[in-house]
A = this chain, B = another copy of it.
């Protein structure tokens, strides 16, 4: 079944004739859909079209069964060539080509301006350039974990070769010798605003060779040559790039080699002239009518896959345990590894690391399951996209990194993962001033503020080792994107008033629930992460002075637990307390909820007001008025 077509050494002449005719029709379709929509990218679509047809025709993809788990994966990295992709897929039977022509770039249609996973045959939603090869790496490694032998093809533009993330992906592919990965580059030598040689000169071939890849140069409009090159690339058992020399706007004389047609549709008169030259009938009126009558068919989503793992029995750390949350994460992860990796019938689990395995505590998992542990080095952009793509293929993927890398440096990669409905667990350690001596560049104080923007990502900030353990098991079994954020230091185990671990034993983590940690009536501290333990200390000191307050643990900052909030508000004075930018974290979220809930309370927010210093966490907290004594004093003053 696999590679059923590229197996033949020679390509059949009849196939070539068929494809040539199809390419011709596709060129017309590309012009029709872009002119009808009044926007889009015809130039690169026309230079890529022979590549698209060769791949979708000869690779192991079935128009009637486009989600077959054994299929080859074809990723289009330069997603703006969607007219080329849609015309190739539609004309090969993946869907009704007329619909693609008529509904291109129409609100509610699946045929969006950049390729989307909704479209049968499209494996990865792209648009922002330079990420496709990383996604290809993720899918290529998924094959092994899924015990499949599919091939992954990544088609890229030449302009996007300028993106540094591609060099990261090349090195990863070489390191892991991803012989099931083949790159095709549409080398039309033009980018949006001019020739590559003027905008940003680059030795593309030398760049691939320097990273240890094979490079085959070929005429990208010659089906026979393309077939031969792709076949060679598949069977050479090395990561190989095919540099396909092409012509932007190929097929229409006045469009050829003109960079202005990279990003603009033909105007009606140009369109007529082009169709005449191609000898293709102008039936735009038919499509115009279809477009006018279009009815959106509801929301487009990608169905989650079923997760089947054993999450085991949570560990309970006793009240005097010296455990940091990252340590608890590492232990839970190792436990998941032991219980599941290599077990028949379970969903594979993978871990992606960026040269920080001991710091982020994934090294134990790495020892238990070396085949499921991927060391990407200091290449966070590649790692983030690769992890997302891997997670989309039926592999529960943990991407563990420092907060500044896993949140700040890779923010846009995760935005695109989110758009791709991935199943990624971003575990970030070393968040907050709690990082201490490494200083401001390394203190991630926006893990909530940044990821609040990503609709699909759920955020969890566990309070101690026990809760971390349960959260990690929870996110492993729940489909979807999660950010789990934690500090660097040892965190006291949170106990109840009797001294028993609050999140130990049979405590079950429920996403969205705010935990009451201490009771009182004068005020309520809503705390997050490492500040929960400090809030308990505040509670103790105030209790000594005869003042009893409530303490809540706000573990799921994107969800409001209205019952708990209501209880907090009843005290008349709510304080938020976070190791995070005070303007964008739980303070902001709780303030909004209090307003929207109509609660009339005194409100104060405590958090990080400026970039942190370099020193012991407690000293840094004190500098920003976040130490226990400052909070105690503040509450006493406010209650006077």
Interface residues in chain A, defined as those with a beta carbon under 8 Å from any beta carbon in chain B: 37, 39-40, 79-80, 105-109, 111-114, 116, 125-130, 159-160, 162-168, 171-172, 174-175, 191-193, 198-203, 206-207, 209-212, 355-359, 375-382, 404-405, 408-409, 411-412, 415-416, 418-419, 436-442, 445-446, 449-450, 452-453, 455, 581, 583-584, 587-589, 591-592, 594-596, 600, 603, 609-611, 613-616, 619-620, 622-623
Contact = CB atoms under 8 A, between A and B. Distances in A.
Contacts of A211: 202-203, 206-207
A104 to B, nearest CB: 9
A164 B600 CA distance: 51
Contacts of A450: 411, 449-450, 453
A450 B452 CA distance: 9
A436 B614 CA distance: 44
A224 B294 CA distance: 75
Contacts of A168: 162-164
A584 B412 CA distance: 16
A192 to B, nearest CB: 5
Given A79-B441, A202-B171, A450-B450, A614 B357 contact: no
Nearest to A168: B164
Contact of A439 (B116, B160, B418): B116
Nearest to A160: B378
B200 A619 contact: no
12 contacts: A105-B614, A108-B615, A127-B441, A162-B379, A163-B164, A193-B357, A408-B415, A411-B412, A419-B441, A449-B452, A450-B450, A591-B591
Contact of A200 (B107, B377, B436, B591): B377
A168 to B, nearest CB: 4
B584 A595 contact: no
Max count, chain B CB within 10 A of own CB: residue among A198, A380, A614, A615: A614
B603 A596 contact: yes
Contacts of A356: 192-193
A386 B452 CA distance: 28
Given A199-B375, A584-B452, A595-B591, A105 B600 contact: no
B212 A377 contact: no
Contacts of A455: 581, 609-611
A22 to B, nearest CB: 25
Max count, chain B CB within 10 A of own CB: residue among A160, A210, A596, A619: A210
B112 A159 contact: no
B441 A416 contact: yes
A206 B200 contact: no
A74 to B, nearest CB: 18
Contact of A112 (B111, B404, B409, B614): B614
A191 B377 contact: yes
A374 B275 CA distance: 39
Contact of A377 (B162, B209, B436, B616): B162
Given A80-B438, A127-B438, A584-B584, 9 more contacts: A107-B620, A127-B440, A199-B355, A206-B210, A408-B415, A418-B611, A419-B441, A453-B583, A455-B610
A107 B442 contact: no
A122 B577 CA distance: 35
A637 to B, nearest CB: 17
A209 B80 CA distance: 32
A473 to B, nearest CB: 26
Given A193-B357, A592-B591, A201 B171 contact: yes
Contacts of A167: 164, 167, 207
Contacts of A201: 171, 174-175
A591 B583 contact: no
Contacts of A613: 107-108, 112
Given A105-B614, A453-B584, A378 B159 contact: yes
Contacts of A596: 591, 603
Nearest to A623: B107
A199 B377 contact: yes
A431 to B, nearest CB: 13
A442 B114 contact: yes
Nearest to A402: B128
A405 B411 CA distance: 11
Contacts of A438: 80, 113-114, 127
A588 to B, nearest CB: 5
Contact of A581 (B453, B581, B609): B453
Contacts of A595: 591-592, 594-595, 603
Nearest to A609: B455
Contacts of A405: 128
Give the 4 A-B CB pairs with smallest separation, nearest first. Answer: A164-B164, A107-B615, A127-B441, A200-B377
Contacts of A436: 39
A203 B208 CA distance: 11
Contacts of A202: 171, 211
B164 A378 contact: no
Contacts of A203: 210-212
Contacts of A620: 107
Nearest to A260: B358
A159 B355 contact: yes
Given A437-B105, A603-B595, A128 B446 contact: no
B128 A441 contact: yes
A441 B385 CA distance: 14
Contacts of A380: 163
Given A108-B623, A171-B200, A442 B411 contact: no
